[in-house]
Structure 1
């Protein structure tokens, strides 16, 4: 009889844990579970947790990406009804706050919550470089700035990542996640106007226009097809990932993989820095190879 249950969402991490623990019972929330596994709905969470405990499950590990569900109050069963106030409160919190409520419910059902990194310590690489490249002095300053930003946003339960270039904060991770943040930086950089006299004239014209000082002879008219003017950004930049201060690292530990490296390269970044002991690196060798082929450095600090 298996004593481990993996509550699995989407992504590479559930695949790794399932391979490492083939005897584990694997379940997932409806709509986010990996293909072919047993599913459940939040509306029956109470009875689901009771059934897990009754079946002999002693440890539960939450792995993979899970979206916040839409709860159908008409489908809540009798065992879940007493949990509704806490579930509603959880859905109104940030990720860390919501997961803390879920952890408490699992523990109250008589099961222990364990982290993916506890089960597979090799997911946490030692401090040092992943790949052949090293950060420049400018990159190192951006690394320090980015980690400082995360020490400020983390306690507010905002996110686990940010992008800094030339000392400027280009993006902070929020609910949509790291991939969305990197895609936003890439989109911003694609829409920056080309450098040179034409761009300078257009900037001057639009600045005068905004101040009510524009007019004929003040410069070329703004392009009416453009909805907004994107300010230029410093070249390069660093993606930083770190857990929030005081975060329960058994659940929702920050994670990067080779796809993260490729998205960082598409956003024009120079490298990635992650906190040692606090960020999972999926398929470490693949990450190093992706970094080398993309011209990026990856550091664990």
Structure 2
């Protein structure tokens, strides 16, 4: 009996590889469509089939899935958002969808693509369903707890990040002395943290949380060891993420580095900012 196929629309970093390994361990045949210049080449060794495309080649993506008999797929990993200004090669299918978008916000694009694919017979699923262990939970915490000032800044950041997400702009804010010093837009989390740390000088608090209207099938907030590295380089002292709605990569190395650098890490749920 042939194994059931699962489609993998792969972006950058390690999430596509982690998903592929988990899916194959569960007996699924992984059919990947990877993005040139974004997806790591190592993914090819972890999947059953792989097709490489340029960003925007929606027709080629669908053709690969249809040929492999894929009816379910996931989106794993992001893409460098600034590439939309210089390195997108939309085919006719993608151009048709783009003309119907009101603006180029993340959720709007992804929901439009997901609905189009569903209309073509490929249902987009939530990628973390196969990897629930990657979600932040109450066990995600460093040895050092927050100071009084860090708690105050975290509460401000938690509220601001919610409003930022409500506008579908970004997921991360940096706060120092109850003042917002940086918000994430198209540049991404690492660049936002670096800019915020430079402006704040030291001891800034980084808050990253899910958008209130987030479609959990894609673009969940994510952090990892690299996040803590950037915070340490930028002088940021505390990281707050949303429990149950944030992907955490390299959990143990991330917390180990946080402890080494004296950085506080916490996972909050709704209401923790009121405590």
- Are residues 1:287 and 2:254 paired? yes
Where does residue 47 of structure 2 map in the other structure? Answer: none
Q: Aligned-pair distance for 1:106?
A: 1.7
Which stretches in structure 1 are left out of the alignment for 5+ residues?
189-232
Question: Aligned-pair RMSD on alpha carbons?
Answer: 2.2
Preserved contact between residue 51 and residue 64 of structure 2 (Cα < 8 Å):
no
Helix, strand or coil for the counterpart of 1:25? Answer: strand
2:236 is paired with a residue whose SS is coil
1:247 to 210, 214, 221: 214
Q: Is 1:25–2:27 an aligned residue pair? A: no
Do the aligned partners of residues 12 and 54 (structure 1) sit closer, same or farther apart at CA in structure 2, a change above 3 Å counting? closer
Q: Who is 2:188 aligned against?
A: 177
Q: Which has the higher contact order (CA 8 A, sep 6+)?
A: 1
CA distance in 1 between partners of 2:63 and 2:102 (Å): 21
Deviation at 1:46, TM superposition (A): 2.8
Instruction: Provide the aligned length of Structure 1 versus Structure 2.
Output: 251
- Tell me if structure 2 keeps the 8 A contact 1:129–1:297: no
State the alpha-carbon separation in 2 of the partners of residues 12 and 91 from structure 1: 31
Displacement of 1:299: 0.4
Aligned-pair CA distance for 1:42: 5.0
Bigger Rg over Cα: 1
**Aligned 8 A contact 1:163 1:171 in 2:** yes
Q: Distance in 2 between matches of 1:138 and 1:186?
A: 16
1:108 aligns with 2:119: yes
Q: Distance in 1 between matches of 2:187 and 2:202?
A: 24
Tell me, in whole angstroms, the C-alpha distance in 1 between the residues paired with 2:245 and 2:168. Answer: 16
The aligned residue for residue 172 of structure 2 is 161
2:64 matches 1:58: no
Higher strand fraction (1 or 2)? 2
Instruction: Rate the CA distance shift 1:138–1:128 in 2: closer, same or farther, 3 A.
Output: farther
State the shift of 1:91 in Å: 9.2
CA positional deviation for 1:166: 1.2
**TM-score between the two structures when normalised by the length of structure 1:** 0.76
